[in-house]
Structure 1
């Protein structure tokens, strides 16, 4: 019987969670009136019991050109992300907050304000792989493994547990694999350093052996030992073979490399 090595493939897109909210609101409620933020020309009419309404020039003219007040806006970002957000607290309830991700021109127009580190930003998605007790957040394509303090600062967001998805490795080898079906070890993808870094270094589950795996001689070079299993197929060097427990290779099968 002949076996072949796994082919190189990219890591598939990860499932993510729905967003929730946490931030610090102003001490007092916003009064009804006309408002404008520092990073755009939009004027809002706020009635106090309804969502703020952007108005056009004709509506502003009909109102007598009232001078708009500054919106109650703060500037925030994640410590691990370059993206700056403006969050306007129209009311205490987080459902009323207005979030705008600023581009460079908007940020410059606002006076290049220093952004405070946020515990949570709208649109953030929280998730956990089945292979480690770590919680991750993704915002604007940036993925980050949360510390205990950062998760606490988020307000202990609800996260999606990816029960069949995770990262694995053999305990005696460095190679990391991304597995989308841990039940049967199907859809396995090679993870190089760039892939792993992009996911913010999730800890892979280390296993010594897996069902159906084995050590074999190379069909081409008899002295070469090859491991073939559900998540990894590779030529094994001496140190790896020793770390694996010096398993005797099969005497009835070989494997092409």
Structure 2
């Protein structure tokens, strides 16, 4: 029923924008402006109502981004090993994360998400020994999960107080109970396996939670979004048409999907207008 109700909305309602570089980090601000990043292009792009993408800000290798309650953008720079904060005008304001956290050196920040209390969670995407970190509203940083095999996308289920983590090279989603500080993340779902057998075909990337608290998973190499219910069961699949699907973002009005046909490019942005009932 969920698939019939929601997935029908995508038919004939999507536009796809080609880009020179592989795209990541989709977000939407309070005014309805759409933003994405393009990694090797070094740009944070703003998309206008006509679908035109223009440079909003620059950094070395922008990856995941989020917009905080003040309207500032926090952007992972995967080459600089830093998370940078830009103000509403696109001006670099400060470095939010760089260097050591509890003796661990941040090297490849990939994605981040608000903790809904003035801070944020982020992933450092390293094979076998990656971490999930947390920075609170005061700027105090700590590690909440470690020794993960390329932790990637993040999403929060606010009702259950759970943090979802894509562990890319395990082809699975982990879940951490935020109400139990210090608890070890558990396996939430092992994802379907690409019959090609290639590791690059089995990498979950960006995550998002919808209004029904279902988890959407951008599956790099599978050209799709999986939809999982709150028990970790797969209840839907959306073919994106993007060979390397990197990330997904949604609100009541829009669904944004990023990725491309290769890295460093070309890239693609898919924008879907959600029909409100």
* TM-score in terms of structure 2 length: 0.20
Q: Larger radius of gyration, structure 1 or 2?
A: 1
Structure with bigger strand share is: 2
Structure with bigger helix share is: 1
